[in-house]
Amino acid sequence: MREWGYRGKLRKRAYIFRLLRLSLLLLSFLLLGGKIQDLRGRAEEAEQHHLKCYYALEYSGRGWSDWSNDNQPQSRRDSFPSALRIALKHQPEGMSGTVQYQVNISGQGWSGVLENGQSAGLEGGAVPLEGLKVWLNGQLSENYDVYTKAMVNGEWLDWVMNGQEAGKVGVGTHIDGIRVSVVKKGEQPTAEEAGQAQSAQSAVDPDRPMVALTFDDGPGKYEDRILSSLEANKGRATFFMVGNLVARHSAVVKRMADDGCELGNHSWAHENLSKLSSAAVRNSIQKTNDAIRAAGGHAPTLVRPPYGATGGQCKSTLTEMGYAPILWSIDTLDWKTRNSRNTVKVVLSQVKDGDVILMHSIYPQSAEAAELLIPELTRRGYQLVTVSELAAARGGIHPGHSYGSFRKK
């Protein structure tokens, strides 16, 4: 009995010893895991707090964007930037210097030098930016490089660095967006993720035929029919609207915007802009922009002068405001014939890749024609796109020019 009692004590001690060993191993794993987690946390914190460049753009009719940082793409396809702000965060303690920048304002040239979050450009969205320059000074410039990339006509240009000019200045284009990246001296910006460098018009296949359906003189009672047909066929169109009609049909204007269609400016009261003074042209366009912004959430970036009349002070004033008159290549004369089948026949007998088709949304016969044309054009392989989408795929829109089509050259 005494022998069994002794053996039992040994087994008990061995069991306690094994428990202690397991406890020590578990404690070691916990401590090691904590150290690893701590190292990961420190690495993440270091990543989060390295020097970064933040930037925001004010888009015409859209207001200021949220801040982007360190190579994030900042662009829109439905507006143009008229002002920007750039700032630094997590600047190394004791290291002197700031980020400085200039913008080229269309028709006015280079701005003065701004820095650290100051607004460069003309706030209010009236005049687009053609280019920008960004650089560092002080000790920052000795330890870091800043790279800038601009989007023009829906495509990203090559990187430039340390104060070099980004964009295409003096050729009638404007920037659509920017990317800015601060890196340690001698390093390169990180590789772009798949899809980030694609055109803003990624929903449009530039290798497939496309046309832009445009509807003038609304809004009115029949746009809902047109929008429903577009939605059913995954198409979009551009609606050039008369400003004094917008408030009473605000719901359909909002639907246009929500459906991805383009909101265009067709003057305040369908006046002949070629017979107005420059101030009167500006007033008509701005009042219409304000009305459309209130109804649809953003102001137009395109103008179609009534009657296609661009003489007098019209074209030069629109150029100063950053617009290019949008005309057409197929005139259906639907306002005159009021015959849906004739309208369909005119379009289908003439249509080619890159055409801008003129119709009017205020007649029931035109809505009926649209309901016939939209599925038929889609069946024939045409992408139904907005004017801006068509332009971006075919060379862009440049103030000072007029555009009737965007056919491949």
Helix (H) or strand (E) holding 318: helix 314-320
Query: Within 10 Å of residue 152's Cβ, how many Cβ atoms?
Result: 20
Q: CA-CA distance, 113 to 119, in Å (whole number)?
A: 10
Following DSSP, what letter does each residue of 117-161 receive, concatenated? T--EE-TTSSS-EEEEEEEE-HHHHHHEEEEEEEEETTEE---EE
Alpha carbon 32 to its chain centroid, in Å, reads 48
Residues 6 or more apart whose Cβ sits within 8 Å of residue 384 = 210, 211, 212, 213, 230, 233, 235, 236, 237, 374, 377, 378
Which residue type is seen at 27?
Answer: L
Which residue type is seen at 180?
Answer: V
> 16-51 in b/e burial notation, b at 16+ Cβ within 10 A?
eeeeeeeeeeeeeeeeeeeeeeeeeeeeeeeeeeeb
Residues 6 or more apart whose Cβ sits within 8 Å of residue 235 = 213, 229, 374, 378, 383, 384, 385
Q: CA-CA distance, 122 to 214, in Å (whole number)?
A: 30
Q: Tell me which residues are annotated as active site.
A: 216, 360
Contact 311, 327 (CB under 8 A): no
Which residue type is seen at 230?
Answer: L
Contact 150, 178 (CB under 8 A): yes
Contact 199, 391 (CB under 8 A): no
Tokens of 384: 């139904």
3-state helix, strand, coil in the chain (%, to 5): 35, 25, 40
Closest CA to 261 of 176, 306, 203: 203
Pairing of strands 210-218, 383-384: parallel
Classified as helix, coil or strand, 369 is: helix
